[in-house]
Structure 1
Amino acid sequence: MSATRLLVLGVVRMFGRAHGYQVRRELLSWSADKWANVQPGSIYHALKKMAAEDLLEKIDVEPGDGGPDRVAYRLSPAGEQEFQVLIAKGLSDPSASNAELCAAVSLMPALPRKYTISLLRQNLIHFEAEERRSRLSLEDDTWGKPPHVYELFRLWGGIASASREWLAGLIERLEAGEYVMADDPGSAFGPPAPE
């Protein structure tokens, strides 16, 4: 999965129709260039590639002022399906990269609240298991590891613990009604896609 792919699909979906500059401006306002390494060239490349894959439909082409034409895109039905798969994976799959998780969290208001919570709970189970595994590794001295290797297990446990605490807090905030989700009145993402 690619964080750029998810972000581009999500922003086009959020606007309903968008051109490359609009997508770029939105993602830069989220600082996605820093946490997901989304660069302007990768945005335009993703738009063209996903249009070629029939995930995006070109709906309007305006001549550029001495530069390239400005093309507006919207999600196709296949693009909506791809978006749903990528965001669900980003929120629930422990093998998703940090950038993919961040992209999915930034777009989670596109999903219904209960569905989002259920996806996040799947990831929470992973972080709880990682914490236990790191504790067991620290207690296990049967392999005669060099003493400094235990710092790796402490680091591993610390990352898992911080991730678990953050994720548990996010789930609590969602359960308490924070954030406007797709199935809430006033959602910026419109009605939720069928589950």
Structure 2
Amino acid sequence: MTKRRKVGNLLALAVLSALAQRPMHPYEIATALRSWGKDQDMGLKWGSFYTVVRNMDKHGLIAAVESVREGRRPERTVYRITEAGREELSDWARELVSTPVPERSHFRAGLSVLAVLHPDEATRLLRQRLDLLERDVTTAREALGQHARQIPRLFLVESEYDLAIQEAEAAWIRSLLAEFTSGTYPGLDAWRAFHETGEIPAELAELAERTDFTE
């Protein structure tokens, strides 16, 4: 079970990871996170950035060190990570690495309503997705290879994970398409008949009436 955290927004985790390197003011933190690609890793929403920073300060995860001014720019507060913040960073990392949580994708949502499409159209669209995925996999594999020559593998592990997920998805789609094209997918004839005649086969009609499904 995941913990209820004082500041649960993943922006807080990102900020802690930045301040674990050195004290910074918020603009520096945001710049560093973008340059490290943390905004992509964590799907950060920047609109709440300053609110998150203030809440972290309020809860003692970070602390103000000094205020600095550069030229005519507004005064900026430099923050450091506190001991409580370091403990939170480590504990949060342990939780994220060790505990699976449901992560619903747009693709899963589309698959859940695949029946509204004719099987031939579903097949065509899945082939289209597979083509795009294979292109992305090739690009990601090349990029990972280039980065591996410059960056320690420890700091590329999330990219390895992304590539593995893409490859697994592509393999699953190939398998599904093979069943569609060979006609061995269970219920394919009933699915096709519904779209071509407008009549719901008895087995599908009975299924549609059920409301006792559980995940």
TM-score by length of 2: 0.42
Structure number with greater CO (CA < 8 Å, separation at least 6) is 1
Structure with higher Rg: it is 2
TM-score by length of 1: 0.46
